[in-house]
Amino acid sequence: MAHILPGLLAGLLLAHLNRPELLVAGLMALLPGLFLLSRCRRRRAALGVLAFLLGYAWTAWVIDAELNSRLPHDKAGMEALVEGRIADLPAAGGHRFLLRVDKAEAWVPRRIDVAWFGNAEPVHAGEQWRFRLRLQPVVAPANPGGLDLERWRTARRVHAVGQVVATQDASLIQDAQGLHALRERLSDRLVRVIPDSGGGAMAAALLVGDRRHLEPEQWQRLLDTGTNHLVAISGLHISLAAGGVWLIAAFAWRRFSPWCDRLPARLAGAVPALAVGAAYAALAGFALPTQRALIMLFIAAVALCSRRTVGPFQVLALAAVAVLVRDPLAPLQAGFWLSFLAVAVLVAVIRHRHAPPWPAWRQWAAAQLALFLGLAPMTAMNFGHVALVAPLANAFAVPAVGALIVPLLLAATPMLLISSAVADFIIGWAGWLLTLLDAALGGLAAFSPVLRQGATVGPVIGGLSFVLVLVWLRGVSRLVLLPMAALLALTLSWLPARIPDGMADVLVLDVGYGHATLVRTRHHSLLVDTGPAAFRRGRLDALAEAGISKLDRLLISRDRAGQHARGQDWPAHRMAYGRYADHPCRQAGSWHWDGVDFRVDAVGEDDRCVVSVAAGEAKLLIATGIERAGDWARLPSAVGSPDYLVVPGHGHRDLIPDLEATPGFAIVPVDARGRYGLPHASLLDHMEAGGTTVLRTGCHGAVGWRLGSAERPVTQRSQRPWWDGARPFGQDGKSDMMPSVCREG
């Protein structure tokens, strides 16, 4: 087992890397080494390699099946009448939900993420409906920072995105039933019984994993205090609930059972503990952390019943393998890594012996500190921030939730079948405790420092370095030193990259059918256009990733480039030019930032502009304000020969660039669906005939480069993960699995 588990686990995980050539090279390198081993060791090594290959093959097969289940790009826009069941809790408002298709008039993917904007009444989990849907492939904008929507949908096994197109054809076939319907009813009951909205929202999240009722401000408080894991039904809740039932059942069996001599109490307590753990995991919809906790609980129960000694890390590895065999796509979720890493850190802390033994409070504090240090790098990579007050907040929040609130909620659930009045009374007490906890976390969040990406983290680096040296001098275990060193390295990597004077960082964002370009110099930032209204969250995430809380200037190059909400939804800025701004864009003029020259020129009679940026000899022209072919002739000669061009009109055939010299790179802001046939083939042929490298945001993702240096533009999709909807796993530029707009040749 010791030589099979690591190989199997490695194979299940490494198949996600999309590097089969590394697999072949590694196996070829291992082959000569096998012959140098003794016969016994050779057999063990061969078993480990075989386990690795089996794990790799299983994950690769599931990945291949997942990709083949997706809606092909050549069927984008197809309509079909389908029947299916709401397969999970709908999003807040009930206008977006996951549909599991049971019947359709033509072939459609089995699991579809559906949006229904015209429905008067929200749908409910477990209902069966008939819809006419317009389907699109699983493709989403790819930008730095924020949620990777394609990865998130792939982890949920979403195979297409759909929209209800004929509300009159929508009909309810069967009322809500099943597990998810029960979860939604329990969630609604908790929110209705608990008078405080914050307490009710947290109760619903704790009992059934329903976070729809959490307000953005409340979620931000949880993030800022590092306690957001509490409302995700972590494995800790399952373990505490099952462990408590185990102790109570064992005590009752020992005191009152006449068969205590035949069946030990510790074994008798295992059955109700497993039942409670399974029931709680079911209420959570069998989320990943609950799967891990339930499997570990089952392995521990089997080991106890069989009187075998199994090490905690071996149990953890077995649980990881079981989760991955059941769902090889689990590593796409941050919860997989955070859940197993948290348990590994706790096991390492518990196994570390202190002489003399520490008191309980000190062990608890050490566990919280170790969890913070161990999880901080992973939290930062997945969520872009680290809450420095997390150890203090979790020190009182975890026992309050695990020892008081969750047991009350679990006790109230079966009581609903006996006496709703008693159940509501228990729920009320849990809600009162949650209200107090929410208030305490709110007070702590108001004064808690949060380390965010792009923030000034120099003082934090100094403090961490001091603590690291102090801990090393005290002779603390390397299991604590290594996470601290990792956190320090991560903090160092978060230091804002200093842009040299005379250069500018340019980022053309992938906003779908729209445009937004961010230009940063050493101390200043400019955003040209804001993208469509639906891109608000992605825009804020991209600005946060760049460390920008407030823009120096915002410029709207044309009427439709920032008209959503008439400018009320724009990012924070010091000065704005363009439609709905205080100043027309033609008044922006020219200016000089950190050795970089900026110039805004008006085109046409209405308020339309182009922006040129010069960093040394390198020039950029953001020509999105051009809407007519004659606008090119109105450009001054000073901007007529750029090295980089942001193409106007999403590549419309009437707006073929008429410049003195062809640029080296042209970036076309366009979506991957190639809406309206854009970019047009004639424009692409014209650009490529002149030697211009054309990059399309919908295909390549956000495009960034340092203006004034010799660096080539870097695209967000350059690494091509296998779940990439525009350039999927193992496909070259001519694959039929790609959108037609992204194919080469």
Q: What is the pLDDT of residue 733?
A: 44
Residue 656's pLDDT band (boundaries 50, 70, 90)?
A: confident
Please state the separation of Cα 103 from the chain's center in Å: 31
Residue 568's pLDDT band (boundaries 50, 70, 90)?
A: low
pLDDT higher than threshold 60 for residue 498: yes
Structure tokens at 461: 């680096």
Q: Where are the domains of the chain?
A: 5-68, 73-177, 218-456, 504-742
Sign (positive or negative) of CA dihedral 657, 662, 663, 669: positive
Write down the pTM of the prediction: 0.82
Cα–Cα distance between 23 and 59 in angstroms, integer? 14
CA angle 270, 275, 280 (to 5 degrees): 125
Torsion, Cα of 444, 446, 448, 449 (10° steps): 170
Q: What type of residue is 476?
A: V
pLDDT in tens, 315-336: 888 888 988 998 899 888 888 8
Q: CB atoms < 10 A from the CB of 334, how many?
A: 17
Q: What is the pLDDT of residue 163?
A: 93
Write down the residue that tokens 């729209």 correspond to: 514
51-80 average pLDDT score: 89
DSSP H or E segment with residue 75: none
Taking CA atoms, 497 is separated from 505, 689, 704, in Å, by: 10, 37, 14
pLDDT in tens, 683-737: 888 888 888 899 999 888 899 999 999 888 988 887 667 777 665 444 444 444 4
pLDDT higher than threshold 60 for residue 571: yes
Q: What type of residue is 729?
A: F
360-365 average pLDDT score: 75
pLDDT in tens, 393-417: 888 998 898 889 989 998 998 888 8
Q: What is the pLDDT of residue 234?
A: 63
Closest among 106, 98, 20 to 63, alpha carbons compared: 20
Within 8 A by CB and 6+ apart from 407, the residues are 241, 244
Cα–Cα distance between 108 and 81 in angstroms, integer? 10
Q: Structurally, what CATH architecture does the domain formed by 73-177 represent?
A: Beta Barrel (2.40)
pLDDT higher than threshold 90 for residue 126: yes
Taking CA atoms, 362 is separated from 227, 343, 469, in Å, by: 20, 19, 20
Report phi then psi at 676, rounded to 5: 60, 20
Q: The CATH number of 504-742 is which of 3.60.15.10, 3.40.1380.10, 3.90.550.10, 3.30.930.10?
A: 3.60.15.10
Closest among 163, 140, 219, 153 to 538, alpha carbons compared: 140
pLDDT in tens, 208-241: 888 888 888 898 888 888 888 887 666 677 887 8
The answer to whether 739 touches 139, Cβ cutoff 8 Å, is yes
The answer to whether 18 touches 727, Cβ cutoff 8 Å, is no
DSSP H or E segment with residue 496: none
Cα–Cα distance between 318 and 668 in angstroms, integer? 49
Structure tokens at 634: 């109105």
Q: What is the pLDDT of residue 734?
A: 44
Residues 476-505: b if buried by 16+ CB within 10 A, e if exposed: beebbeebbeebbebbeebeeeebeebbbb
DSSP H or E segment with residue 546: none
